[in-house]
Amino acid sequence: MASHASPGQDGPSQDGPSQDGPGQDSLARHWRELRDHPLRKLRRLYRWAEFHLRPAASEAALVGEANAFWNSPDTVNREQYSHWRGVGVFADDERWLALGRQNLALYQQFARMAGTGPPRRILEWGCGGGANAVHFAPLGATYIGVDIVPESLDECGRQLAAMGHGGFHPVLADPAAPESVPGKVPEPCDLFLCTYVFELLPSADYGLRVLAVARQLLRPGGIAMIQIRYSRHSWTSRAKRFAYRRHVANMTTYPVDVFWMEAEARGFVPLAVRLVPSEPLNGNTNYAYFLLGG
């Protein structure tokens, strides 16, 4: 799966606007009226009924929906969701650069915590348009980008070539068989990187398959930095099993403790987790970044 975040998928906060500053009383009153509007309540009731009563789609059907979404050139905002430079909200180049820059800063904190040296081989699962790659690739000699979208692999390669990095190795993944990726990667990596991807995977079970593959791709003593969206104590933040296109950026979530234990069960040594309740760079919420030892 490609590396994407979908700006604003969660909609407005249920808490409403801030109460600070002049003119905020009127704004807050307008928000309460909007929040309590009968049509809004009816929509929420419909979503509740759909979530609890609609039959779950099969795993194969969900994988097919996801593949159709990402590999259709007709998908609206596909390149923006894939973090292509200069596209959509990333026409603001500083915003595009900031997204990968803050991930690099977090990785460096994690690496110091784990006591690991510079990674020689980096593998990014879901490299998209290269927002992470342009910051992480200079750390090592080889940067392996895995994605299910050929155009995103090409775009990531262009971004790295433009900065003079010649160690990019693209790997096109089969969405139906993530387990086939290790056969395309001749050596294990020192750093497994995956951000803004797990929430887009077809299901929570599929995500655990990718997690197992990640452990297989990581050398002993290496580290993984994997970001997920965590679920809260509400049905609205739980993983979906239907309508991939509609729920694309909220499709797969996990409770933080569950993902920690699932990583452990697949041979990782969980070392740390950082929670980011709200990410202003893309407008999404409930991010958890895991540091996992190999």
Q: Considering the domain boundaries, does residue 134 fall inside one? A: yes
- In this structure, the number of other CB atoms found within 10 A of the CB of residue 225 comes to 23
Q: What angle do CA 98, 102, 108 make, to 5 degrees?
A: 145
Q: Considering the domain boundaries, does residue 13 fall inside one? A: no
Q: Considering the domain boundaries, does residue 115 fall inside one? A: yes
Token pair of 214, please?
Answer: 């990640």
Q: Considering the domain boundaries, does residue 43 fall inside one? A: no
Query: Tell me, what's the pLDDT at 270?
Result: 98
Q: Considering the domain boundaries, does residue 12 fall inside one? A: no
Query: Tell me, what's the pLDDT at 282?
Result: 80
Domain residues for 180?
59-293
CA distance 194 to 232: 22
Q: Considering the domain boundaries, does residue 34 fall inside one? A: no
Q: What is the pLDDT along the chain (294 residues), one digit of tens a residue?
A: 554 444 334 433 444 444 445 456 766 666 566 566 677 666 665 454 555 556 677 999 999 999 999 999 888 789 999 999 999 999 999 999 999 999 999 999 999 999 999 999 999 999 999 999 999 999 999 999 999 999 999 999 999 999 999 999 999 999 999 999 999 999 999 999 999 999 999 999 999 999 999 999 999 999 999 999 998 877 555 667 666 887 777 889 999 999 999 999 999 999 999 999 998 888 788 999 999 999
pTM (2 decimals)?
0.82
Beta bridge partners of residue 125, listed in sequence order? 146
Tell me how many domains the chain contains: 1
Residue whose structure tokens are 């990674």: 119
- Domain CATH code at residue 63: 3.40.50.150
Mapping DSSP to helix (H, G, I), strand (E, B) and coil, where does residue 41 land? helix
Q: Considering the domain boundaries, does residue 188 fall inside one? A: yes
In the chain, alpha helices (H): 24-35, 38-53, 59-70, 78-81, 93-114, 133-136, 150-162, 204-217, 244-247, 256-265
Nearest of 147, 191, 149 to residue 169 by alpha carbon? 147
CA distance 30 to 236: 24
Q: Considering the domain boundaries, does residue 113 fall inside one? A: yes
Query: Tell me, what's the pLDDT at 281?
Result: 84
Nearest of 269, 274, 264 to residue 230 by alpha carbon? 274
